[in-house]
């Protein structure tokens, strides 16, 4: 039986690779996609998601979600200021214009209706963008915390962040949503922070392999990973040998629970007020931490298992 899941994402190049792998891998079934403001503005996230699904001919319902953070009018620092003149996040991914369309039901309404239904009792929720939709759904229907069987989140960093020294992008964009979701008492939470994603980066040799495989999903992934390598090279001024490809790791974990080679169960929370640490993931590993663990936090991943997962997906192509 394939692992069924809903993907809440902000497509975004690595979210796109997660979708390519998810729609192709024989052990996974992507039930629906919900979109959220993040890497680009919501309208572009939704359009990019439809482009990516159309590129592989996958028919998966897409529900558009929150256009701004849970409580704030905008990111802590507006997107234009954050991105400066970098062209890393282009509004539109380089795939043909979408012919499919989003559903009329909003992401938040969909998540509530779906997870209050017994039919979703086994459906994992995977979040690879800011946690705004999930925070809104939990605020609207608190019983969801007991209904969602498992939440797998790409977000946070136990060591350094990427937007600031303390904060990773997804949690920094909407710290109040991240704090609300992690504190909601969900049954099972798995966090995939930068520590894990940076431990198993992909390379140009991986892109060569995906291009040879040649399925639409494999070619699409290679194009996006090459763009990430080129960006890293331009940003650092040094040849980029490898680049972290964050979001597909959450999807890989569903099919390959042996992906993470080091993890810790701990009480986790997110900083919502610090002037230098806004959006920081706090992983309380103190033996005397007064709160019981509320998440498993992956700290290292196996590059071999990650590559096997992606290879299997791309060889299978689109079902």
- Active centre residues (catalytic): 246
Per CB under 6 A, which region of 47-55, 58-66, 167-175, 253-261 contacts ligand BDR? Answer: 167-175
Per CB under 5 A, contacts with Ca ion among 116-155 are 128-129
Per CB under 6 A, contacts with ligand BDR among 41-100 are none
CB closer to ligand BDR, 162 vs 318: 162
CB closer to Ca ion, 12 vs 216: 12
Cα separation values, 91 from 41, 62, 74, 179, 270, Å:
8, 18, 17, 28, 28
CA–CA gap between residue 295 and residue 169 (Å, rounded): 19
Per CB under 5 A, which region of 9-17, 21-29, 176-184, 198-206 contacts Ca ion? Answer: 9-17
Backbone angles phi, psi at 270, to 5 degrees: -130, 135
Residue 195 in contact with ligand BDR, rule: CB under 6 A: no
CA–CA gap between residue 13 and residue 119 (Å, rounded): 31
Name the minimum Å distance from CB 127 to Ca ion: 9
Among 3, 7, 8, 12, binds ligand BDR (CB under 6 A): 12
Per CB under 6 A, which region of 161-169, 182-190, 234-242, 282-290 contacts ligand BDR? Answer: 161-169
CA–CA gap between residue 26 and residue 24 (Å, rounded): 6
Residues sharing a CB contact under 8 Å with residue 237, sequence separation 6 or more, in sequence order: none
CA–CA gap between residue 40 and residue 297 (Å, rounded): 27
CB closer to ligand BDR, 93 vs 102: 93
Residue 272 in contact with Ca ion, rule: CB under 5 A: no
Q: Please state the separation of Cα 243 from the chain's center in Å.
A: 16
CA–CA gap between residue 27 and residue 2 (Å, rounded): 4
Name the minimum Å distance from CB 182 to ligand BDR: 16
Backbone angles phi, psi at 111, to 5 degrees: -60, -40
CB closer to Ca ion, 35 vs 128: 128
Residue 162 in contact with ligand BDR, rule: CB under 6 A: yes
Give contact residues for ligand BDR (rule: CB under 6 A).
12, 14-15, 39, 128, 154, 162, 168-170, 246-247
């Amino acid at each position: 039986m394939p692992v069924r899941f809903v993907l809440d994402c902000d497509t975004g190049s690595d979210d796109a690779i997660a979708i390519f792998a998810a729609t192709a891998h024989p052990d996974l079934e992507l039930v629906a996609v919900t979109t959220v403001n993040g890497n680009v503005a919501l309208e572009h996230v939704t359009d990019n998601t439809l482009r990516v699904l159309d590129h592989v001919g996958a028919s998966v319902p897409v529900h558009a979600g929150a256009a701004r953070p849970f409580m704030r009018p905008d990111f802590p620092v507006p997107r234009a200021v954050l991105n400066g003149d970098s062209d890393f996040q282009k509004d539109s991914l380089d795939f043909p214009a979408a012919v499919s369309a989003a559903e009329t039901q909003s992401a938040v309404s969909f998540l509530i209706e779906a997870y209050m239904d017994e039919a979703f009792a086994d459906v994992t929720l995977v979040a690879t963008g800011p946690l705004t939709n999930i925070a809104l759904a939990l605020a609207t229907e608190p019983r969801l915390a007991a209904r969602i069987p498992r939440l797998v989140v790409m977000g946070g960093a136990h060591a350094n962040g990427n937007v600031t020294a303390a904060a990773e992008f997804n949690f920094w964009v909407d710290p109040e949503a991240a704090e609300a979701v992690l504190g909601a008492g969900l049954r099972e939470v798995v966090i995939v922070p930068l520590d894990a994603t940076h431990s198993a980066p992909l390379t140009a040799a991986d892109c060569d392999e995906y291009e040879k495989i040649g399925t639409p999903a494999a070619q699409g992934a290679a194009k996006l990973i090459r763009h990430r390598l080129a960006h890293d090279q331009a940003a650092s001024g040094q040849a980029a040998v490898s680049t972290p490809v964050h979001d597909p790791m959450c999807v890989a974990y569903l099919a390959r629970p042996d992906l993470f080679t080091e993890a810790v169960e701990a009480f986790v929370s997110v900083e919502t007020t610090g002037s230098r640490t806004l959006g920081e993931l706090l992983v309380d590993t103190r033996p005397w931490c007064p709160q019981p663990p509320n998440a498993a936090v992956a700290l290292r991943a196996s590059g071999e298992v990650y590559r096997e997962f992606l290879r299997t997906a791309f060889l299978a192509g689109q079902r």
